[in-house]
Amino acid sequence: MEILWVLVIPLAGGLLLALYGHRRFAPELNSAMSLGTLIAAGVLTVRVITGGPFSFFEEQFFVDSFNVFLVALTAFVGFTTALFSRPYMRIEQHHGKLTANMLRLYHAMYQLFSFTMLLALLTNNLGILWVAMEAATLTTVLLVSLYRTPASLEAAWKYFILCGVGIAQALFGTILLYFAAEKVLGAGGNALLWTHLNAVKMQLEPTVLSLAFVFLLVGYGTKVGLAPLHNWLPDAHAEGPTPVSAVLSGLLLNVALYAVVRSKVLVDGALGSHFAGNLMMGFGLLSVVMAAFFLLRQKDIKRLFAYSSIEHMGLMTFAFGMGGAVATFAGMLHMTVHSLTKSAIFFAVGHATQKSGTQVMEHIRGLIKTNPTIGWGLTLGTLAILGMPPFGVFASEFLILTTAMHAYPWTTPFLLVALGVAFAAIFSRVQTMVFGASSGQRLPHPPALLPVFAHLGLVLMLGLYIPPYLSDWYRQAVALIG
């Protein structure tokens, strides 16, 4: 039942906001719907923690500790982003960038986007997972092009075509997976259910599965933003409204990575080798290194943090690729802290660009002077994302690095150099934006800074102390996918 609520609330929210999304109270309605989703997700989480994994509706939906933590995270960041978007979108409207109709589109699509992501996480059917991922692309295409500027249309078109082509590869991978599954499980809808596949994964045909995984990794990897398929990501992040950048970076990339990891579990079982892990490590390492060097050349603040997302997604893919208890644990912790930190950074960046009226970093100056909370939010968020102790990112990066040193020593120099370059690139830029003389103007609506500090507080807590139920939860998930 709880699963149904988690899905029905955002779907109903989407329909409701398609009707009323342009009204004065629409931002509050949007937040209320997201709060409803968060409460439903909380109830679901409690049930999984106390009662263990369960399936629903003839096994079409399935929750275990791996996806429930992502469901909770998605609902939480979905809610805080809705809170942030309340003043943000009002200011954008005040600046004359948005009409009432655009606002209606934005609110309706925001809820539908949450719905598609939660569906992708909760479904047990790998075919429906594909359908939901494609639907997530479709709902965000119009959000990226919301401002209708030439650059935003170009970014949206690139996003649609690249992700469309990518996700078509994933469909072919799913077809191949079904082809292998049908031999063991018989034809029909149940042959694509992950739980059924997981039970018989030893018997699946290895050659077909390895080919299927290549297609699935390339397909979903495009959405994760893995190099060299990452081209859409910086454009889509830079040109769309900032709340959309926050949910793209914080949530969508995670959900795509979730699809890859689910497939990896099956392929590992069928092959009994480290083939899938090696591929993921390769793509992950390439993304980390490439993103670090692209960071040096950025001029636009949102592009800068978009490349930082590519770097961190690469790091997670690398961690899941290494496999084993510690690396998988670190991968999941990194998923959590990255999505909290990165969305907090985008909240601060959003208000900072509104204050300065530009996204060009050279022209953003003196944030601490004009609005200390935005300035400190950005500074602390940047320190957190760069892996400074005591924030949670430090803990997960430390675990990933030490495991890599132990298991794959040759990767350590690449990772260390990349992290160092990223540190230099981001920190120097942020420092000049935060300190110095100011150039900003007053915002017509008070900015929403509670979400920024709520996220950073959680990341700080995860760096110092992981509550026992949370670590149990991670450990159960590690046992599932390790």
> Cα dihedral angle (51, 57, 58, 60), rounded to 10 degrees?
-90
Minimum gap (Å) between residue 241 Cβ and another protein:
16
- Taking the CA atoms of 458, 459, 464 and 470 in sequence, report the sign of the dihedral they define: positive
User: Rule CB under 8 A: is residue 101 a binding residue for another protein?
Assistant: no
User: Rule CB under 8 A: is residue 211 a binding residue for another protein?
Assistant: yes
| Of the candidate residues 62, 66, 106, 130, the single one contacting another protein (CB under 8 A) | 130
How long is the chain?
482
User: Rule CB under 8 A: is residue 145 a binding residue for another protein?
Assistant: yes
Q: Alpha-carbon distance 478 to 482, whole Å? A: 5
Site for another protein in 294-353 (CB under 8 A): 294, 297, 299
User: Rule CB under 8 A: is residue 156 a binding residue for another protein?
Assistant: yes
CB-wise, 229 or 399, nearer to another protein?
Answer: 229
Q: What's the gap between Cα 128 and its chain centre?
A: 19
| Of the candidate residues 2, 64, 92, 134, the single one contacting another protein (CB under 8 A) | 134
CB-wise, 310 or 380, nearer to another protein?
Answer: 310
CB-wise, 68 or 155, nearer to another protein?
Answer: 155
| Of the candidate residues 15, 161, 405, 464, the single one contacting another protein (CB under 8 A) | 161
CA angle 220, 221, 226 (to 5 degrees): 160
Single-letter amino acid code for the residue at 207:
T
User: Rule CB under 8 A: is residue 213 a binding residue for another protein?
Assistant: no
User: Rule CB under 8 A: is residue 158 a binding residue for another protein?
Assistant: yes
Which range, of 8-16, 152-160, 404-412, 424-432, touches another protein by CB under 8 A?
Answer: 152-160
Whole-angstrom CA distances from 209 to 59, 206, 396 are 23, 5, 31
Single-letter amino acid code for the residue at 239:
E
User: Rule CB under 8 A: is residue 206 a binding residue for another protein?
Assistant: no
Per-residue x/- track, 171-200, another protein (CB under 8 A): xx-xxx-xx--xx---xxx-xx--------
User: Rule CB under 8 A: is residue 214 a binding residue for another protein?
Assistant: no
CB-wise, 160 or 474, nearer to another protein?
Answer: 160
User: Rule CB under 8 A: is residue 148 a binding residue for another protein?
Assistant: yes
Phi, psi of 199 (to 5 degrees): -70, -30
| Of the candidate residues 8, 39, 131, 368, the single one contacting another protein (CB under 8 A) | 131
Binning the chain into helix, strand and coil, the percentages to the nearest 5 are 80, 0, 15
CB-wise, 152 or 356, nearer to another protein?
Answer: 152
CB-wise, 131 or 421, nearer to another protein?
Answer: 131
Q: Alpha-carbon distance 144 to 470, whole Å? A: 34
Q: Alpha-carbon distance 392 to 394, whole Å? A: 5
Judged on CB neighbours under 10 Å (0-12, 13-18, 19+), 408 is: middle
Size of the site for another protein (CB under 8 A): 49
Whole-angstrom CA distances from 435 to 273, 364, 424 are 52, 10, 17
The rounded radius of gyration (Å) of the Cα atoms in the chain is: 21
Which range, of 204-212, 340-348, 381-389, 405-413, touches another protein by CB under 8 A?
Answer: 204-212
Minimum gap (Å) between residue 95 Cβ and another protein:
19
| Of the candidate residues 207, 273, 428, 471, the single one contacting another protein (CB under 8 A) | 207
User: Rule CB under 8 A: is residue 235 a binding residue for another protein?
Assistant: yes
- Residues near another protein, by CB under 8 A: 125, 127-128, 130-131, 134-135, 138, 141-142, 145, 148-151, 153-158, 160-161, 164-165, 168, 171-172, 174-176, 178-179, 182-183, 187-189, 191-192, 205, 207-208, 211, 235, 239, 294, 297, 299
